[in-house]
Amino acid sequence: MTGADADGRVAARAVGVSRVYGEGEAQVRALDGLSVEFPEGRFTAVMGPSGSGKSTLMHCLAGLDRVTSGEVWIGGTKLGDLSERQLTLLRREQVGFIFQAYNLLPTLTAAENIGLPLAIAGKKPEPAWYDRVIDAVGLRPRLGHRPTGSPTTRACRSGTRRSTRRTRPARSTGCWRCSTSCWHSPW
Ligand SMILES: Nc1ncnc2c1ncn2[C@@H]1O[C@H](COP(=O)(O)OP(=O)(O)O)[C@@H](O)[C@H]1O
Ligand SMILES: [Mg+2]
């Protein structure tokens, strides 16, 4: 599958990727020689039956998990060449990830959850971009509330907003907000 846009820019790419869990009789080959490209600036849905490897693919493409063999690229960076620290910095700067369970911190408000990755990086959001994304997901009235007990849709919005918390995202975002796996540039 080739996914480059008209300018040939690819947000993420897997080349001959395999991911094997476990050993011996318990071994599971979740990905088996997969090659796929995801273009910048597009929404892409990855669909398949439960257990077909969608989550594994998202984790590997986002640099949250290492592949057993093959190569994963985010933009022009080959993830296999990076140390854990370099991978952490790349995820912080270039990847927005909406976890299926959101992974919001219950002791922080929505605004604090949104700002957390930037705060860790010692940065502040670009005000116009922050406002634009907050309003796009309708979260402004809830910015001071904590996510605990929030309806699913509201938690999802905070997760979505957090995944786009920085200045304009450079790369696409892995998204599971609808219980399916997709890869897109959010705004
Ligand atoms: N951490 C893990 N340890 C062992 N097996 C796993 C692990 N994660 C996923 N698997 C297995 O890998 C296969 C693909 O899983 P997954 O990527 O979660 O699929 P999907 O998201 O499409 O439902 C399944 O057989 C699953 O049981
Ligand atoms: Mg899954």
How many A from CA of 100 to the centre of ligand 1? Answer: 14
Please tell me which residue, 179 or 158, carries the higher pLDDT value.
Answer: 158
What is the pLDDT, as a whole number, of residue 6?
53
Which range (63-77, 129-143, 171-185) has the least confidence? 171-185
Query: Average model confidence (pLDDT) for the chain?
Result: 83
What is the pLDDT, as a whole number, of residue 174?
40
What is the pLDDT, as a whole number, of residue 117?
86
The pLDDT tens digits for 12-69 are 999 999 999 999 999 999 999 999 999 999 999 999 999 999 999 999 999 999 999 9
Determine contact, residues 75/19, Cβ cutoff 8 Å: no
What residue ranges do the domains of the chain occupy? 10-95+171-184, 110-163
Run of H or E including 30: strand 28-39
Q: Any idea which residue has 């010692």 for tokens?
A: 122
pLDDT of residue 172 exceeding 80? no
Q: Please, which residues have CB within 8 angstroms of residue 178's CB and are 6 or more apart in sequence?
A: none
Among 21, 23, 46, 52, name the best residue to mutate to test ligand 1's pocket (greatest count of ligand atoms within 8 A of Cβ): 21
Q: Any idea which residue has 């892995």 for tokens?
A: 174
Q: How confident is the model at residue 93 (pLDDT cuts 50, 70, 90)?
A: confident
Which one is the CATH code of 10-95+171-184: 3.40.250.10, 3.30.360.10, 3.40.50.300, 3.65.10.10?
3.40.50.300
- Nearest ligand to the CA of 48 is 1
The pLDDT tens digits for 101-124 are 888 999 999 999 999 888 988 998
DSSP 8-class letter at 53: S
Provide the greatest CA pair distance for the chain. Answer: 54
Percent of the chain with pLDDT over 90: 62
Among 25, 28, 31, 181, name the best residue to mutate to test ligand 1's pocket (greatest count of ligand atoms within 8 A of Cβ): 28
Averaged pLDDT for residues 122-147: 93
Determine contact, residues 121/83, Cβ cutoff 8 Å: no
What is the pLDDT, as a whole number, of residue 49?
97
Percent of the chain with pLDDT over 70: 75
What is the pLDDT, as a whole number, of residue 164?
64
Please tell me which residue, 162 or 170, carries the higher pLDDT value.
Answer: 162
What is the pLDDT, as a whole number, of residue 101?
82
